[in-house]
Structure 1
Amino acid sequence: MCIDPVLQHVKDKRNVILFGIESHVCILQTALDLLENNINVHVVVDGTSSRTQESRKYAFKQMKQAGAVLTTSESVILGLLDGADHPKFREVQKLILQSAPVTDLCKL
């Protein structure tokens, strides 16, 4: 799924964060392509969907076996801040602490 312009854009990157729709097709193939190009892949499980939960489950299983890191949006957001000393940490923390709707997207 990684066409040449995309690969050119990420060629100097060590890590890529993936989220979106069709985890069993688009996200899976993109993850595999990036991993093949020695790029670390982090898949946001609560930001990635498929038509069925079964498709999601097996896509995540394949990605994990291939070497992708399965993570959550909260982990990604806090990781990007790189610590509580970030000037926006408290502002972001307030957003995270707000109750989110139950989506069952973290069920694997």
Structure 2
Amino acid sequence: MAGPTRRLTNPALFICDVQEKFRPAIYEFDKVVATTQKMLKASRILNIPVFATTQNRARLGETCSELGLDVPGGIATRVHADKSLFSMWTPDVRKGLSSLPTPVECVIVGIETHICVTQTTLDLLREGHKVYILADGVSSCNKEEIPIALARLRAEGAVVTTSESWMYECMGDAAIEEFRKIVGLVKETSQSTRESLQTLCKF
């Protein structure tokens, strides 16, 4: 008899431009970082490939160091590319994604909701991928932009959800091997999850 299988069979985590330089400007930036950290831990548990970008790294700097991307003992990204495009749909990302079965179930965190997250989502949808946007993991300089962008992206066919909901949907079955570790992660991050929901998902 076959063992339990995950509900989402081909997920990938997209981290859009979570750079230190943006910290003072973005509404509740630290909550975006906290959700991104949680999703990175989940990606390690569930062996989910990670695609990350920076926007104009020479001028705007590296991805926030607390995410631990591409450092010894940190998260090994499939792609960690710099871009001038607003969308993450760059040649490096396209190449990295091409090695995965399609369609990919892309889950997005990062900034800004109405610019880079929006354009990334539209490009991924156009290419036939499934897109999940985590409402507790995206933000903009002006908080009023967030609900407008999310409403548009829902209408375009993206799924707007939360980090905890997505992790459980990804698993789909409490009998899978990684379930207990994910439950541990949910308990470990319960306070930061609550705070992120209360600030980023109140609109």
TM-score normalised to the size of structure 2?
Answer: 0.49
Distance in 2 (CA, whole Å) between partners of 1:43 and 1:58 is 14
Shift of 1:4: 2.4
Secondary structure of the corresponding residue to residue 131 of structure 2 = strand
Unaligned runs of 5+ in 2: 1-86
Shift of 1:7: 2.2
The structure 1 segments of at least 4 consecutive aligned residues displaced by more than 3 Å after TM superposition are none
Distance in 2 (CA, whole Å) between partners of 1:54 and 1:73 is 21
Correspondence 1:26-105 to 2 at 5 A: 26-98=116-188, 99-101=190-192, 102-103=195-196, 104-105=199-200
Larger CA Rg, structure 1 vs 2: 2
Report the AA paired with residue 77 of structure 1. M
88-97 vs 45-54, which deviates more? Answer: 88-97
Shift of 1:77: 1.5
Distance in 1 (CA, whole Å) between partners of 2:90 and 2:186 is 34
Distance in 2 (CA, whole Å) between partners of 1:39 and 1:29 is 14
Find the counterpart in structure 1 of residue 63 from structure 2. Answer: none
Shift of 1:91: 2.8
Shift of 1:23: 0.7
TM-score normalised to the size of structure 1?
Answer: 0.86
1:107 aligns with 2:196: no
Shift of 1:100: 1.8
Unaligned runs of 5+ in 1: none
Shift of 1:79: 2.2
Find the counterpart in structure 1 of residue 90 from structure 2. Answer: 3
Superposed CA offset, 1:68-95 (max 9, x none): 0001000121222231112231232133
31-40 vs 74-83, which deviates more? Answer: 74-83
Distance in 1 (CA, whole Å) between partners of 2:123 and 2:177 is 35
Shift of 1:29: 0.5
